[in-house]
Structure 1
Amino acid sequence: MDWSDLPSELVITIAGNLTEFTDHLRFRSVCSHWRSSFQSHSLSLPRQLPWLALPSTSSPHFYSFSEDRVYSSPPAVVANNTNVLGSASGWFISVRGRDRHITFSLINPFTGVSIGLPSPDPYSSLFYAAADTLVWDRSDSAVVAACSTRLGVFHCRLGETAWVLIESQHYHMASSITFYEGRFYILQDDTCETVVLDGETLQQITVIDAPHLDSPVEAHLFVSSGELLLLMKSTWMYLFPDSDSQFYKVRRANLNDELVEWIEVNDIGDRALFVDNLHCFSVEVGDHSLLRRNCIYSAQSKTSGGPRNSSRTYSISIFDLKNNNGERLGCALNKFCAASLRGVVSPPSWILPSLS
């Protein structure tokens, strides 16, 4: 009997005994019968830890946090010379090309699904959103994106042929975009106001006032368990880029309150935050022995070497909010070194893997 001849009930039984996400990926790749059997039944996949996309000269590599392993053979859906920017939804936006030939795609590297997105208008600010400046998130029907260094926020409904500028007097430069329970939350870089859009109509619902900030910071906005959280990186981090001591603060606001009020906190409960250059999301620690509660996992990269032969190394630092100290995480990622394109700055990007 061939593997493809196994009854669907037996195939589902096999899949139900798999505990690792990568085992599910290998299971799906055996044959079309196994893949369709997997998709046609509701399987309770184990809760996943984030993966990290590692840009390099040819195509991204991936680091699995739970396996402590770097995968050097990226999925086929990720084309060569592609920069990918992840999200908590399990999807990437891929950015390819340069000059006047920029293309965007929405891809899930774990399922092989790719959805073409319109190329940005060369005369719009979105056109200048390179791999180190594009902030974005998606709903089931639309993508909202912006260049973090230029004015303007844009949306594209899946299947449409053009990006549309979202007009609002509150839009300046968006430094963070996140989608949560039917709404997009867009953080403005210069004012730290949060513009809230309806996920279906993409119309503005409200504007949440900015918290009081003592000094200029880099901030990331995200939503977790009905709370709006603002992760702030002190400018001191840029004066000491090689230090393991990170400088983070968190402000929290309850979205259910009639008057949204920002409060600084040093305990976010049984959660861990994962942050890179462009976005942040939270993960419930639960019984994950690899994670520390109330900590921030920050991904960094460093380029070294000459202009013709440069390389990039990656690392993860952990910052404890309660104790206010940080350390470099010892892991297999520290031994990985990738060739780096001259003049291209592509940050590592966290993603929560998904098969949906």
Structure 2
Amino acid sequence: MSEWSDLPKELLQTIAKCLDSRVDVLRLRSVCTSWRSSVSFPSFDEEIPPLILKLPQPIGIDAVLFHATICRMEFSHQNANSSSSESNSKGWLTKIRVSKLGKLKLVHPLSDYPIMYSPFTLNLLDFRFFELSKAFMLKFPFGFPLYEVNKVVLFPISARCSKYEISILAIYHEGKLGYWKYGDESWTLLDDKNFQYDDIIEYKGQFYVVDRWGTVSWIDSSLKLIQYSPPLFGCGGQKNLVESCGDLYVVDRYLDGERRTWNDYENLDVNFPARRRTYRMCNPNATDFRIHKLDEEWGTWVDVKSLGDRAFVLGVDCSFSISSGDFFGGKGNCIYFTDDDNFKGKGLSSDSIRVFRLENHIIEKVTTLPEYSQIFWPPNFGLTGSNSAPKFNVSDLLKSLSAVMKA
């Protein structure tokens, strides 16, 4: 290890510049004291400027673009309570934000709310992080989610955008698809005939959107929409796009009531954020799901009856797929999600998380299913009595984590 620790500072800095993920830079700095002193920690400013974005009408609100990384978090060494190397290779699902001071702030992967043991400093010599997905969200400067914007992504996604080069694709007002870049005085509406878009995803280096009829379209570099799939004509009320093992899926969510549309925002007073939050949070809840995979060769939709060991996670800012075998207590063939009504403006608790099991089409609270709940960090999140993960006291663990992020 002494030979590695003696690598020239210039070489380490060159390596760090090639890393797109902030988590990878943090892991690089955690190898040893010499590496940590040679590689500066990338502040939030260097990746996505913490600017107040003055969004034009019809939103007309000052907002901040937040960025997070969805990760699998696992111990980097053999845990004393682990009975085998197989169990030690498993981890937990978490979402990471990085402050200007270099501390890791953990938020729940299904939402953007801090978990109860966050923020604190993690010793990256004790943990390893594996990036699963990126997530973006527009919020008010004082931290509340901007409910007029249903989904937002950077266009194109860049790990190192300069200060005034932010540009975004967004679904707002329950279905309008728009583009905006820093300095624009108005949104560019990408489709002035269809106000029924549900989700955006980056898939194979390109951006795709799906509308409420299940039609997937590709957004090219000139912001032109090109139809990519035939309509699904699914009967559900909300569509999500998920990439899993190289394939593109549409998750069709069936609801117990009608969703709002862009018409509901036409007469809404944009000068009262509190009124907008109350208005936006009254959404119908999920009653069932159907999953469809796009057969790109034949251009047809295939009904999916089982996900095998895979599980889909439908978050408020991104949707992704995981292998259940990579997580403590992980179970495949299911969908993790939360209904918007469960936030109540107070943050997300474990009681808000739902699990949909494809084998029986039953939706249950994760608190009633310990075998499904252990994938989330911290372990035993709102639960007790599970044998799926190593046993340790969270308070004692936090006390034992040393601060290694100091320059």
Q: Which category of TM-score, normalised to the shorter sequence, fits these structures?
A: 0.5 to 0.7
Aligned to 1:210: 231
Work out which of the residue numbers 322, 336, 341 in structure 2 matches 1:283: 322
SS in 1 for 2:152: strand
Asked if structure 2 preserves the Cα contact closer than 8 Å seen for 1:133 and 1:278, the reply is: no
The answer for unaligned runs of 5 or more in structure 2 is 13-22, 43-70, 74-91, 98-104, 122-130, 159-166, 260-281, 368-372, 374-379, 384-407
Aligned to 1:319: 356
Work out which of the residue numbers 131, 140, 143 in structure 1 matches 2:157: 140
What are the residue-to-residue correspondences of 1:34-45 with 2, within 5 Å?
34=36, 36-37=38-39
**Pairs aligned (count):** 253
In the TM superposition, residue 235 of structure 1 has moved relative to its aligned partner by 1.4
Q: More helix by proportion, 1 or 2?
A: 2
Aligned to 1:62: 107
- For 1:94 and 1:286, locate their aligned partners in 2 and report how far apart those are by CA, in whole Å: 33
Aligned to 1:187: 210
Aligned to 1:253: 294
- For 2:362 and 2:356, locate their aligned partners in 1 and report how far apart those are by CA, in whole Å: 6
Asked if structure 2 preserves the Cα contact closer than 8 Å seen for 1:272 and 1:292, the reply is: yes
What do residues 231-280 of structure 1 show as CA deviations (whole Å, max 9, x unaligned)? 122113899x9xx995211111122x1x4211221212331100134642
Q: More strand by proportion, 1 or 2?
A: 1
Residue 154, structure 1, aligned to residue 179, structure 2: yes
What do residues 180-202 of structure 1 show as CA deviations (whole Å, max 9, x unaligned)? 1121111123x43222113x443
Aligned to 2:137: 93
Runs of 4+ in structure 1 displaced over 6 angstroms?
29-32
| Alignment CA distance shift 1:321-1:303 (3 Å) | closer
SS in 2 for 1:73: coil
Asked if structure 2 preserves the Cα contact closer than 8 Å seen for 1:178 and 1:221, the reply is: yes
The one-letter code matched in structure 2 to 1:95 is K
In the TM superposition, residue 62 of structure 1 has moved relative to its aligned partner by 1.6
- For 1:303 and 1:152, locate their aligned partners in 2 and report how far apart those are by CA, in whole Å: 25
- For 2:120 and 2:170, locate their aligned partners in 1 and report how far apart those are by CA, in whole Å: 25
Work out which of the residue numbers 261, 266, 277 in structure 1 matches 2:305: 266
Aligned to 2:200: 177
The answer for unaligned runs of 5 or more in structure 1 is 1-5, 13-20, 41-45, 55-59, 76-86, 104-128, 305-309, 336-356
In the TM superposition, residue 178 of structure 1 has moved relative to its aligned partner by 0.4
Asked if structure 1 preserves the Cα contact closer than 8 Å seen for 2:307 and 2:333, the reply is: yes
- For 1:271 and 1:250, locate their aligned partners in 2 and report how far apart those are by CA, in whole Å: 13
SS in 1 for 2:36: helix
SS in 2 for 1:221: strand
Asked if structure 2 preserves the Cα contact closer than 8 Å seen for 1:236 and 1:247, the reply is: no
What are the residue-to-residue correspondences of 1:236-251 with 2, within 5 Å?
236=256, 246-251=287-292
| Alignment CA distance shift 1:53-1:182 (3 Å) | closer
SS in 1 for 2:174: coil
- For 2:108 and 2:27, locate their aligned partners in 1 and report how far apart those are by CA, in whole Å: 15
| Alignment CA distance shift 1:33-1:186 (3 Å) | same
SS in 1 for 2:157: coil
- For 2:33 and 2:222, locate their aligned partners in 1 and report how far apart those are by CA, in whole Å: 40
- Over the matched positions of the two proteins, sequence identity in percent amounts to 16
- For 1:180 and 1:264, locate their aligned partners in 2 and report how far apart those are by CA, in whole Å: 20
What do residues 126-163 of structure 1 show as CA deviations (whole Å, max 9, x unaligned)? xxx9236331223434632120425332154xxx5337
| Alignment CA distance shift 1:299-1:318 (3 Å) | same
- For 1:31 and 1:132, locate their aligned partners in 2 and report how far apart those are by CA, in whole Å: 46
- For 2:31 and 2:150, locate their aligned partners in 1 and report how far apart those are by CA, in whole Å: 32
Aligned to 2:80: none
Asked if structure 2 preserves the Cα contact closer than 8 Å seen for 1:254 and 1:261, the reply is: yes
Structure with higher Rg: it is 2
The one-letter code matched in structure 2 to 1:34 is R
What do residues 312-355 of structure 1 show as CA deviations (whole Å, max 9, x unaligned)? 552322221123223322355438xxxxxxxxxxxxxxxxxxxx
- For 1:144 and 1:180, locate their aligned partners in 2 and report how far apart those are by CA, in whole Å: 15
The one-letter code matched in structure 1 to 2:147 is A
What do residues 39-95 of structure 1 show as CA deviations (whole Å, max 9, x unaligned)? 89xxxxx955542589xxxxx962379xxx7433279xxxxxxxxxxx964343342
Aligned to 1:51: 94
Asked if structure 2 preserves the Cα contact closer than 8 Å seen for 1:229 and 1:252, the reply is: yes
Work out which of the residue numbers 233, 246, 250 in structure 2 matches 1:230: 250
SS in 2 for 1:34: helix
- For 1:38 and 1:270, locate their aligned partners in 2 and report how far apart those are by CA, in whole Å: 39
Asked if structure 2 preserves the Cα contact closer than 8 Å seen for 1:29 and 1:35, the reply is: no
The one-letter code matched in structure 2 to 1:235 is L
